[in-house]
Structure 1
Amino acid sequence: MDLEKIDGIKVFIIESLHENDKRTGENLKDNLRQIWYDQGLLSYFTCQYNYVSNSEELYCVFAEIGKQVSSNNRFPIIQIECHGCLEGLELESYEKVCWGSLFDHLRPINEASYNFLFLNLSMCFGEAVIRYIDPTKRAPFRGVAGPIGKVFPETLEKAWLYFYEHFYESLKQDYAFSKLSLSSGLIYYSQDFIFDCYYDLANKDPEMFESLRKRELYELFLKKGPLAIDSKMHSLWIAEKQALIKKKYRAYFCFDDLLQLHKEIYRKTKQMEVTSI
């Protein structure tokens, strides 16, 4: 992907539902083309639909998306239509894809897009995506939207229809995805929010961050730790070092090294009209 030559957005719909389920992803594909036609955006937005039955097919689709993102110049949105649970995705084969495995396959795509991958989860328990983030790796997406708790297919269809009907106009606003998701009846998490929540132990599975912080603190203590100080001094030392640890991992997770590049691209695309593409 060449950020200097971005020419649009591509939505990758991945569907994996049971035999008698309503094909919400296939319906969305048809609706997207009609929406973009009505809004005169067919040259700017494109869509690819994939149906998968099991995890092997899912991972192959992710690999193909990664290749496309690397070679093309369109910002990617991955829309997953399937059943969901607190642990992750449930596919047509009734296989469960845990969040950690999903993130490992999304991360290369996000890296190839220079941290511009957005994930839309059309499934039950979409809010559970906030679990099991690995703070030592790059974020698997820039942001993620989805429903909360159990939802019916009709509710999801209505939400995503509103989301994409108002998608282009929302791009002109600050915090576009967050505002649009809320207006659509969905919840949105940015990578910054996810990291901060996890680091501050607001998650339901904090062991990874807890063990990470303890190891880092121990290594700092060995280098230059206070050996004999009162409890107040020790607490201040812990707070100071924990802030440094958070800053270290947050910068890598949130792609802070790309911030200047993003600012330049944002400035240029803000001035660009769809009619000129």
Structure 2
Amino acid sequence: MAHHKKIGIRGASPRRKKKHKKSRRNIDRQGSIMSTKAEFMSPDTDVTKFRIAVIESLSDGESKTGTNLYEGELKPLTLKDESLTASLHVVNDITNFKRAIDEIADSLGGDELVTLHIEAHGAGENGIRLASGDNLGWKDFMDECRKLNDKISGLLVVTLSMCYSFPILGSIDPTQRAPFKAILLTNRDVTVDEVERGFTAFYNSYKNPLDVFKATGVIRDEVNKGDEKSSPFHLMVADHIFDLFTNPDRDPDGFAHIVNDNFCRLKAQYPEYTRERTEKEIRAMMNDLAKNGRDYFLFYDRVKGKELMELTEQNKRKNQWV
């Protein structure tokens, strides 16, 4: 008997138990990952508008960095450029956060791309700490991002203005649609001064997704400890993330943990299982996903060959990291 479906290879955190989820392809066909009014962008669409949507969730008494960014930087930029719009959504809890995402998705024009900027506190492995004190888990956050990314056919850029947001990478599921095209992360705690200076510089260099590499270079030049490499801000692109997750040899120790966790679980249920068989099956699953799932994850099955996919080539030239 083969037991492939019982092997878990999701994400970069092998010790975390994952529940079986319904096929994202089936969910896409049912339309349930999009808000009720959303229709995805056609690959033939001429994009003429670009929105920066700020979601802020900060407690009373804290510096309202999202409001300051919107009022002091983004609104003035929209007055100079008719193609650029901005919106501010102040939320307190998970329900309001999800409502804000739905409002953004439902209000997008058919020729409009959106960049999602989050001002909140990072909660490490637990996700995003909202003003209410609740944590919006990384998986749930990416489900919300996916609503927007699906509507604009995989071209969502996300910027996270918060402490230590790198753990989000361990919750990405390469069998689903990508939650974003690119994400700007932090690899340490950041100060109010660093995010205010950094994102002021970033958005003065950023208009649309094709500017994301240039703007990331600007924020890294603005915020560092003497050299650009010490900056806490890093850009990751969905193409590179997928390739990392489907390469069993990119992290030998991590892959060994995945094999061991699955072997122990399977051996308890099926005594005939061996470690060698477990590794062989996991490698086969990862290779199959790399071969057959990449276009689906990256929305290339929908928009392949279009001009905005230049992000991919830029990413390759930049070596995936900025």
Shift of 1:33: 2.1
Normalising to structure 1: TM-score of the pair?
A: 0.75
Q: 1:132 & 1:168 partners in 2: Cα distance? A: 29
- Which amino acid in structure 1 is aligned with residue 291 of structure 2? K
Q: Secondary structure at the match of 1:120?
A: strand
RMSD: 3.3
Residue 111 (structure 1) aligns with: 150
Say whether residues 1:191 and 2:230 are aligned partners. Answer: no
- Which amino acid in structure 1 is aligned with residue 49 of structure 2? G
Aligned partner of 2:76 among 17, 34, 45: 34
Q: 1:187 & 1:264 partners in 2: Cα distance? A: 21
Shift of 1:116: 1.1
Normalising to structure 2: TM-score of the pair?
A: 0.65
Deviation by residue 1:195-233 (Cα, 9 ceiling, x = unmatched) = 223333668xx69x958xx89xxxxxxxxxxxxxxx9xx
Residue 82 (structure 1) aligns with: 120
- Which amino acid in structure 2 is aligned with residue 256 of structure 1? Y
Say whether residues 1:13 and 2:57 are aligned partners. Answer: no
Deviation by residue 1:158-205 (Cα, 9 ceiling, x = unmatched) = 0000101111499469x54654554454211101122223333668xx
Q: 1:103 & 1:150 partners in 2: Cα distance? A: 21
Q: 2:58 & 2:157 partners in 1: Cα distance? A: 22
| 8 Å Cα contact 2:49-2:84 kept in structure 1 | yes
Q: 1:46 & 1:33 partners in 2: Cα distance? A: 8
Q: Secondary structure at the match of 2:119?
A: strand
Say whether residues 1:93 and 2:135 are aligned partners. Answer: no
Q: 1:92 & 1:251 partners in 2: Cα distance? A: 37
- Which amino acid in structure 2 is aligned with residue 103 of structure 1? M
Aligned partner of 1:144 among 183, 189, 192: 183
Q: 2:149 & 2:210 partners in 1: Cα distance? A: 19
Q: What residue ranges of structure 1 are gaps of 5+ in the alignment?
A: 216-230, 267-277
Residue 164 (structure 2) aligns with: 125
User: 1:1-277 to 2 correspondence within 5 Å?
Assistant: 1=41, 4-30=45-71, 31-37=73-79, 40-41=80-81, 43-69=82-108, 71-86=109-124, 87-168=126-207, 171=210, 175-176=213-214, 179-180=217-218, 182-185=220-223, 186-200=233-247, 210=258, 242-263=286-307
Q: Secondary structure at the match of 1:161?
A: helix
Shift of 1:121: 0.5
Q: 2:209 & 2:178 partners in 1: Cα distance? A: 24
Shift of 1:265: 8.2
Between the aligned residues of both structures, percent identity stands at 23
| 8 Å Cα contact 1:12-1:47 kept in structure 2 | yes
Shift of 1:151: 0.9
Deviation by residue 1:226-267 (Cα, 9 ceiling, x = unmatched) = xxxxx9xxx99986774333222223212221343523886x
| 8 Å Cα contact 1:145-1:181 kept in structure 2 | no
Q: 1:53 & 1:67 partners in 2: Cα distance? A: 20
Q: Secondary structure at the match of 1:47?
A: strand
Shift of 1:35: 3.7
Q: 2:204 & 2:296 partners in 1: Cα distance? A: 34
